[in-house]
Amino acid sequence: MNPNKKPTTFIKIYVLISLLFATNCLLYYFASISLRGYYSDVVLFWFWLTTSFIVIIVYWKNILAKLLLASLLLTLAMSIIAMMIPFYALLNATTPLGLRTTREISPKYRAQIVEYSPMAPPSLEVIKTYGIVERRLFKNTSRQLLNDNMNVKINTATGIVFNSETNSTITLTLRYPGNQKAFTFNKSTGDIVQ
C-alpha cells in the first residue's frame, strides 16, 4: 500500500468500518439500538481499533495518520486522568469484562446482566431482537428491586427466566442460589410493577 496514491481499497474499507462503528455508537446512544448480540459490538470495536492502527502504521508519513494516533492516545489519557472511571467503563463496554450473564429468554427477547461502570451497580437489560439488530427495552438496577432481602439483588442472580408478557409489561424470574423471585417490569420504563 503506497501512502502517496489516491485512496486505496484498504482506506475505503477502513472508512466503511469507521462509518459502521460510528453509526452503531450513535444509534446505541440515542435510540438503544445495536447489532444483535453482546459480542458483535465488542468485535466491531476491536476490528475498528485494529484497522486504525494498521492505517496509522501504513500511512505514518501522512499528517492525518499522526492526528488519528494523537486523538486515540488523547482519548485514552483523558479517560485515565478522571480517576480511571471512564477508562474502566470503556474497558468493560469493549471487552467481555462488563458482561456478567446473558441468556436468550425467548425467541424475541434476550436478557443480560452487565456492569459497565465501577461506580454503578450491575443492571439487568432486556433486549428485543429485530433480525440483525436489537433494541434495549429497558435497564433496571438493583436499587430498583423492591425487596428488603439483601440476597435478592441483580448482581447475585445466577439465571433469568422469561415467564410472560403483556402489551406493556414483561415478567421475569431471577434465580439466586437456593432461591428465585419473579418480577414484573414495565416495558417502557423498566420500573417494577406492583
Q: Which of 81, 115, 131 is the last residue of a domain?
A: 81
**Does residue 154 form part of some domain?**
yes
Summarised one tens digit per residue, pLDDT across range 54-96 is 999 999 999 999 999 999 999 999 988 888 888 888 888 888 8
Give CA torsion, residues 93, 102, 151, 117, to 10 deg: 0
**Does residue 139 form part of some domain?**
yes
Alpha helices in the chain (DSSP H): 9-31, 38-58, 63-81, 85-94
Say yes or no: 75 and 18 in one domain: yes
Say yes or no: 108 and 169 in one domain: yes
pLDDT at 148 over 80: no
Q: Which of 81, 106, 139 is the last residue of a domain?
A: 81
Summarised one tens digit per residue, pLDDT across range 14-59 is 999 999 999 999 999 999 999 998 899 999 999 999 999 999 999 9
Say yes or no: 181 and 142 in one domain: yes
- Give this prediction's pTM: 0.81
Q: By the 8 A CB rule, do 99 and 114 touch?
A: yes
Nearest to 59 by CA among 26, 125, 10, 17: 10
Q: What percent of the chain has pLDDT over 70?
A: 90
Chain-centre distance for alpha carbon 143: 21
Say yes or no: 75 and 48 in one domain: yes
Interatomic CA distance for residues 1 and 3, integer angstroms:
6
Say yes or no: 107 and 163 in one domain: yes
The count of domains in the chain is 2
Q: Which of 46, 81, 116 is the last residue of a domain?
A: 81
Residue range(s) defining the domain that contains residue 16: 9-81
**Does residue 193 form part of some domain?**
no
Say yes or no: 105 and 156 in one domain: yes
Say yes or no: 109 and 182 in one domain: yes
